[in-house]
Amino acid sequence: MPARNDTDVIIHIDNVHKSYLMGKEAVPALRGVSLDIARGDMVCLMGPSGSGKTTLLNIVGGLDEPGRGHVTIDGADVVAMKEEQLARLRLEKMGFVFQTFNLLGNFTALENVEAPMVLLGRLSRAERRRRAHEILAAVGLADREHHYPSELSGGQQQRVAIARALANDPAILIGDEMTGDLDSQTGFEIMRLVRDLNQREGKTVVFVTHDPRMAEFADYTVHLLDGQIVSGASDPVARLMDTP
Amino acid sequence: MIGTYVVRNFKRRKVRSVLMILSLIVGTGTLVALNATVDNYRRYYTGTVAGEVGDFDLVLTRPDTAPNPFLDSDRIVPVVEGVPGVVATTPRIHAVASIRAGAKSGEAAFVALDPAVDKSGTVEVADGAYDLADDADGVPGAFLLQETADVLDVAVGDAVEIQYAPPQTRLAGRPADDNSSRRRTTATWVVRGIGTQRGLTGQSSNEGVVVSLAAAQARFGLGQTAERLVIELDPALYDSRNPEQSAFSARAVGFAIRDALGHDDFQFLMPRPKAVIDGANQFIFLQSLITMYGLLSLSVVGMLIRTLIMTNVQEQTRDMAILRILGAPRRHLFNLVIGEVAAIGLIGVGLGIVVGQSVNNLVIRPYMAQQAGDFLADMPLVTLSSVVLAVALAGGVLAISTWEPARKASATKITHAINPGIAEGPGLEDLAQLRERRTDFRVSGAGLVVLMYPLLVFYVFPLAFDFGILWVLAALIFGALLSLIVGAALLFYIVILPMERLLLRLIEAGAPRVGYFVRRTVMRGKVRNTLISLMIVMSALLPSFLSTTLALEVANTETDRRLSGGAPIRVTAPRTAEGTQAFRVQTESEGTFATDLLEELRTEPQVGPSVGRSASWSTRVRDGVGMRDAGVRVIGVDADPRPVLYDEAFELLAGDAGAFERIVADPGAVIIGAGLSTYLDRGLGDTLVLDGAGRDHTAELTIVGIARRIGGLGEYTAKQTSVWGGSNTLLIGMDAYRDLLRDPLLGPPDRTTPIVSTLMLRPAAGVDEKQLTTDLRLRYATAHDLQIDSTEETIETIREESRTGQIFLIILTALTSVLAVFGVFAVIYVSIYGRRGEIGMLKAVGTPGRHLLGVFVGEAMVMTLSATLTGVTAGVLLAYTFRLSNGFQQEVPTTFAVDPIVVPAVLALMIVASLVSAVVATHSYRRRRAIDILRTL
């Protein structure tokens, strides 16, 4: 058995608990979840409503914090981070794709992709423009870059959202019901695109879906029920060892 | 169910509910305060009028044709006091007396009153005390007014001799006999106090002496008689909002007193009611201004409530659709919205009345009272009518602003609950409506707007002025002001975009990342509340316009007054002076100086150079060959006016300065205006033919100068239009003037006949202008019924009035600006609320909180400041347009000026409003995590 290489685990979740207060009662969402996701994995989280999959995704994405337990993302302990530090981590290392796209209505496709680069402030205006153009071309929207979201179809909007998620070249792509608002055919196109990015650029992808057909694009699926992982959680090191 | 809905909505949307209540509190409070200001101002006006004409409602004297000029006060006072509406009746003696202190003497107002009962006016003691009683040695005390004390060089403790002559009587139908001797009595008083008065003597100046009536009666042998009765009426008589009505109410008491006295031989004077009615136009304008401010405030409240209630309705569309599924009729949904607004209105308006009363009692009323003196002391704080009006208007605004949201709520479709995506499109129930052709009222509305101007000009204004109905005039002034403000705001609305671009550039220069986001939202945002932007434009426009107008007036007062007055001091002869009939033919009704009086004035050691000018005489001037002629006014001068005139007060376009000497020396020389020269096409050295008095009387005059301006000596405009009006002036020497006005059939004119109507003069070297004016007034004004005007004094008075106006304006601006702040907050709050998803997403992708705040502050600043700057620009430009066009008409230069207080205050207030609004409205979103925000969508 080869020595475990910690750098290959990009997301480390250890015994995470999370509860929500519903009225005066605390309702547990996650109950002692542990999960390691290796760099370059494409992982699907599935489970019935209320199983805790979105909560887990939010914790993985640094959008939510666990009540108890440890979460490490690319070696950084996110539980100990302050809000501003978490924001910086998300800006640099993560890309988000939402079910409802959440594009900026007054920005063109190009400007929506450019926005995270403006916030990071590392590139010049010309460099930002060039990169945004390249990413949009990569998702097949080179001819739509000056269109506003309202002028794009649902599938095109989600492509823009994916392009925006890739803007700062993040290591992790987080998708929350990315295909939930799309028809099947468009949903498949989006998943193929994400899978392609995962395989071509080695992005780690964690996504939530209710659709088993979409789950098939993942390397493996983690099933949750009542806040616990019931199947699919794999030891990334073991999987690495299995890899020929 | 409506109650439950209202309470739950209040709990769920606390910020919005509190915002609406607060805006109603401020809105209603402003209205109550503004209405109270109208009431206060009316009293303030009456109070300030008192300073000019005396604090007297009614004065009862004997006419000069009565055998006995004195009144038997013991008999008359009980009769007068028995008339309803009379509060107090006090006997007095008013006269012009000769006052001597040491070697100095002069004539001034002499007022004898009973200080124990006579409470008219106020006295401010500068030195000593207001003590009119006899001292231990039996010498009575006198209170000397400041200007008289200064001229006579009197101090407290000095003795003054007062020489009094009883009023001169005459036989009915006969003039007074100048040769009849008047008994003069002299007595000594000791000066116990020196100071100023307001409303005590009936004069605005502080010249004269006040003594006790008892002492005067004893020393001048008048027994228990008085020269007049000063009657104070119930202040409630002036309570009407209509000044004319107030004055007539007071006059009704006058009639009652006349009836009670049995139409005996009395003369009635009603100075205050007369002044109130005379000043009604000024009051109407201010009332219109205040109404305009009130309307602006209310409009902002209306916009705010409409915006917030509409947001509530939009948010609850699904709940309402479910209610409809459950069987709720449309009117129920309508009532839910109305019920919510009614509850909020009840709380907001109720508290607003309290706030309005407090603002009035603690701020406005004390200020007015300070300005107007004790007159406001016993006035009611806020009248019932003020409150009722405010409540009615607030109710009206609430109803109008709620109508559309309530209608939208009642129009909620069931589809909103089933399939919100298609609910906004037309459904089956809308098809019938879509097919039906309907009247388009907008076309008729546009027609009405187009017709408005001709209707106003040709019908409404002439009708209103013909009938002279005050409330119609007030409505027209208000309408004109409203049109001006709304029109200018709409016209300048296009400036908002360039202003936004300018502000965006500034933000981008200072904070590029923030600027990147702000630019895209501001320049491309579709969800902009145009009405609120317009309200902000108007809120900034009105105070900017008024304050800039005031600033321009102050800055140009000195030049304007110097140009119009011409000389530092002008002494005008009484209009009824005798010896003027020879020159009355076709002249204005101006009097002339008696020759010896004129000589006396000119040889006063304190008087420097002087020039006597005649009245202006209307005649016609011709080119001599019968092609062109024009109506003109002719003025004669008896000396070269240049040493007397201000340097900027005269400007010759042709001819040298010697032209003035030539017209005095040469009866055939004339200086004409540039407009007349152009109209007649006659220049320097050319001749003109003037029609003189009598038949076939003409004079040929040679043009020696063409003037653009000669201050105080007529109109010499360069405009030809003034020639058509016959107002252009010809300036000639006094001898030529006499010749022109004398019918040749009557023989040559008498060169000694008085002809000077105004003496323009400068103080001698080293003599103070104000001091000389006071001195001349003391010695000549009352004794010879002369009017003495000082340019410097007029300038000071105007500046003082402007300062008062500015403070008044600041109070109004502050009140309405507070409401504009609420408007700004509502817009920003709703805008941010509608962009929760965007905020959540931006936070999710890692936008720092400070960046978010920067973006929203930037957006708020750009949106608010652009509208404010547009309003300020429009207001300032409007003020300059009026001033410059007026300057062009009057051909006077304009000194540029900016308002140093109101305009910066409006800008500062809006900056603070945007900053606070953005900080408060984003506060909860900045604190919440991205996921919490996104969950609420």
Name the A residues in 13-52 with CB < 8 Å from any B CB.
none
Name the A residues in 118-137 with CB < 8 Å from any B CB.
118-119, 121
Which secondary-structure segment (H or E) carries B287? helix B280-315
Identify the pLDDT of residue B153: 85
In terms of CA atoms, which chain A residue is nearest residue B842? A116
CB B911 within 8 A of CB B816: no
Give the span between the Cα atoms of B489 and B594, in whole angstroms: 58
More confident residue, B407 or B173: B407
CB B644 within 8 A of CB B567: yes
For residue B452, pLDDT beyond 70: yes
For the question of whether the overall pTM of this predicted structure is more than 0.80, the answer is no
Q: How confident is the model at residue A126 (pLDDT cuts 50, 70, 90)?
A: very high
Summarize pLDDT for B832-852 with one digit per residue, the tens.
Answer: 877 888 888 888 888 888 888
Identity at B13, one-letter amino acid code: R
Give the span between the Cα atoms of B483 and B486, in whole angstroms: 5
Give the span between the Cα atoms of B324 and B838, in whole angstroms: 32
Q: What is the mean pLDDT of residues B443-454?
A: 78
More confident residue, B33 or B172: B33
Please report how many Cα atoms fall inside a 13 Å half-sphere around the Cα of residue B422, on the Cβ side.
Answer: 7
> Per mean pLDDT, which range of A189-203, B30-44, B312-326, B539-553 is the poorest?
B30-44
> Per mean pLDDT, which range of A17-21, B212-216, B854-858 is the poorest?
A17-21
Give the other-Cβ count within 10 Å of A25's Cβ: 8
Residue B929 has its nearest CB partner, among A64, A98, A105, at A64
Give the span between the Cα atoms of B601 and B754, in whole angstroms: 14
**% of residues, chain B, pLDDT over 90:** 8
Contact B849 A83 (CB under 8 A): yes
Contact A102 B841 (CB under 8 A): yes
Determine the residue among B500, B504, B841 to mutate to test chain A binding: the one whose Cβ has the most chain A Cβ atoms within 10 Å: B841
Identify the pLDDT of residue B872: 92
For residue A83, pLDDT beyond 70: yes
Q: What is the mean pLDDT of residues B863-890?
A: 88
Identify the pLDDT of residue B423: 61
Six token digits for residue B823: 């408007």
Identify the pLDDT of residue A204: 93
Contact B848 A118 (CB under 8 A): no
CB < 8 Å to A96, chain B: 841, 844-845
SS3 B847: coil
Determine the residue among A54, A82, A119 to mutate to test chain B binding: the one whose Cβ has the most chain B Cβ atoms within 10 Å: A119
Chain A touched by B931 (CB under 8 Å): yes
Torsion sign over Cα B646, B652, B653, B657: negative
Instruction: Give how far B529 is from chain A: nearest CA, Å.
Output: 16
Contact A91 B845 (CB under 8 A): yes
Chain A touched by B843 (CB under 8 Å): yes
Give the other-Cβ count within 10 Å of A4's Cβ: 14
Q: How confident is the model at residue B73 (pLDDT cuts 50, 70, 90)?
A: confident
Task: Render the burial of B867-904: b for 16+ CB within 10 Å, e for the rest.
Answer: bbbbbbbbbbbbbbeebeeebeeebbebeebebeebbe
A-B contacts at Cβ under 8 angstroms:
70
> Residue B54 — φ and ψ, nearest 5°?
100, 150
For residue A235, pLDDT beyond 60: no
Give the span between the Cα atoms of B891 and B722, in whole angstroms: 12
Six token digits for residue B155: 């101090």
CB < 8 Å to B421, chain A: none
Give the span between the Cα atoms of B922 and B937, in whole angstroms: 16
In terms of CA atoms, which chain A residue is nearest residue B515? A118
Q: How confident is the model at residue A1 (pLDDT cuts 50, 70, 90)?
A: very low
For residue A243, pLDDT beyond 50: no
For residue A42, pLDDT beyond 90: yes
Q: How much is the mean pLDDT over chain A?
A: 85
SS3 B932: helix
Give the span between the Cα atoms of B592 and B578, in whole angstroms: 8
Identify the pLDDT of residue B912: 86
For residue A27, pLDDT beyond 70: yes
Chain A touched by B846 (CB under 8 Å): yes
Identify the pLDDT of residue B588: 37
Summarize pLDDT for B147-203 with one digit per residue, the tens.
Answer: 888 888 888 999 999 988 877 777 776 666 655 556 778 889 999 999 988 778 877
Contact B844 A118 (CB under 8 A): no
For residue A105, pLDDT beyond 90: no
Chain B touched by A147 (CB under 8 Å): no
Give the span between the Cα atoms of B845 and B825, in whole angstroms: 28
Summarize pLDDT for B104-139 with one digit per residue, the tens.
Answer: 877 788 899 988 888 777 788 888 999 888 888 888
Contact A119 B847 (CB under 8 A): yes
Contact A111 B520 (CB under 8 A): yes
CB B763 within 8 A of CB B571: no
For residue A132, pLDDT beyond 90: yes
Contact B513 A121 (CB under 8 A): yes
Identify the pLDDT of residue B583: 35
Identify the pLDDT of residue B565: 85
Alpha helices in B456-529 (DSSP H): 461-467, 470-492, 496-510, 512-524
Q: What is the mean pLDDT of residues A133-147?
A: 89
Contact B524 A106 (CB under 8 A): yes
DSSP codes joined into one string, B379-447: S-SS-HHHHHHHHHHHHHHHHHHHHHHHHHHHT--THHHH-HHHHTS--HHHHHHHHS----HHHHHHH
Contact A98 B513 (CB under 8 A): no
For residue B473, pLDDT beyond 80: no
More confident residue, B931 or B228: B228
Using CA atoms, how far residue B737 sits from B1, B587, B630, B634, B839, in Å, is 92, 12, 18, 8, 85
Contact A63 B929 (CB under 8 A): yes
Six token digits for residue B333: 């949904």
Give the other-Cβ count within 10 Å of B264's Cβ: 10
Contact B845 A104 (CB under 8 A): no
Q: Residue B891's Cα: distance from chain center in Å?
A: 24
Give the other-Cβ count within 10 Å of B825's Cβ: 24
Instruction: Give how far A213 is from chain B: nearest CA, Å.
Output: 26
Give the span between the Cα atoms of B563 and B498, in whole angstroms: 40
Chain B touched by A239 (CB under 8 Å): no
Determine the residue among A59, A63, A110 to mutate to test chain B binding: the one whose Cβ has the most chain B Cβ atoms within 10 Å: A63
Residue that is written with structure tokens 């929207």 in the block? A141
Chain A touched by B837 (CB under 8 Å): yes
For residue B726, pLDDT beyond 60: yes
For residue B385, pLDDT beyond 80: no
Give the span between the Cα atoms of B589 and B570, in whole angstroms: 17
**% of residues, chain B, pLDDT over 70:** 86
Alpha helices in chain A (DSSP H): 53-60, 83-93, 109-120, 125-138, 154-165, 184-201, 212-215, 236-242
Contact A119 B851 (CB under 8 A): yes
**% of residues, chain A, pLDDT over 70:** 91
Torsion sign over Cα B542, B547, B553, B555: negative
Q: Which residues on neighbouring strands pair with residue B145, listed in sequence order?
A: B195
CB < 8 Å to B846, chain A: 87-92, 94, 116, 119
CB < 8 Å to B851, chain A: 119
Six token digits for residue B531: 């009405």
Contact A107 B929 (CB under 8 A): no
Torsion sign over Cα A116, A120, A125, A130: negative
Q: A23's torsion region: left (phi>0), alpha (psi -120 to 50) or beta?
A: left
Six token digits for residue B284: 């109407």
> Per mean pLDDT, which range of A114-128, B454-468, B570-584, B895-909 is the poorest?
B570-584
Give the span between the Cα atoms of B854 and B919, in whole angstroms: 9
CB < 8 Å to A121, chain B: 513
Instruction: Give how far B931 is from chain A: nearest CA, Å.
Output: 6
Chain A touched by B926 (CB under 8 Å): no
More confident residue, A13 or B817: A13
Q: What is the mean pLDDT of residues B346-371?
A: 80
CB < 8 Å to B524, chain A: 106-107
CB < 8 Å to A92, chain B: 846
- What is the distance between the terminal CA atoms of chain A, rounded to a whole angstrom? 13
In terms of CA atoms, which chain A residue is nearest residue B846? A87
Contact A106 B934 (CB under 8 A): no
- Helices A109-120 and B512-524 meet at what angle, rounded to 10? 150
Q: How confident is the model at residue B45 (pLDDT cuts 50, 70, 90)?
A: low
Name the B residues in 409-468 with CB < 8 Å from any A CB.
none
Summarize pLDDT for B250-289 with one digit per residue, the tens.
Answer: 889 999 998 888 866 788 888 878 777 766 666 666 667 7
> Residue B393 — φ and ψ, nearest 5°?
-65, -45
Q: How much is the mean pLDDT over chain B?
A: 81
Using CA atoms, how far residue B199 sits from B35, B143, B805, in Å, is 27, 15, 21
Chain B touched by A81 (CB under 8 Å): no
Q: How many helices, marked H, and strands, marked E, lie in chain A? A: 8, 10
Which secondary-structure segment (H or E) carries B688? strand B687-691
Identify the pLDDT of residue B386: 67
CB < 8 Å to A98, chain B: 841, 844, 934
Q: What is the mean pLDDT of residues B861-884?
A: 90
Q: How confident is the model at residue B507 (pLDDT cuts 50, 70, 90)?
A: very high
Instruction: Give how far A6 is from chain B: nearest CA, Å.
Output: 26
Summarize pLDDT for B740-789 with one digit per residue, the tens.
Answer: 888 888 888 888 888 888 999 999 888 888 888 888 887 787 677 788 88
Q: What is the mean pLDDT of residues B555-582?
A: 73
Q: Residue B798's Cα: distance from chain center in Å?
A: 11
Contact A104 B513 (CB under 8 A): no
Contact B837 A106 (CB under 8 A): no
Identify the pLDDT of residue A131: 92
Alpha helices in B54-167 (DSSP H): 73-81, 146-152
Q: Which residues contact B908 (CB under 8 A, 6 or more apart)?
A: none
Q: Are strands A9-22 and B209-212 parallel, antiparallel or unpaired?
A: unpaired
Name the B residues in 111-140 with CB < 8 Å from any A CB.
none
Residue B520 has its nearest CB partner, among A100, A107, A116, at A107
Summarize pLDDT for B622-663 with one digit per residue, the tens.
Answer: 887 878 888 889 999 988 999 999 988 888 888 887 889 899
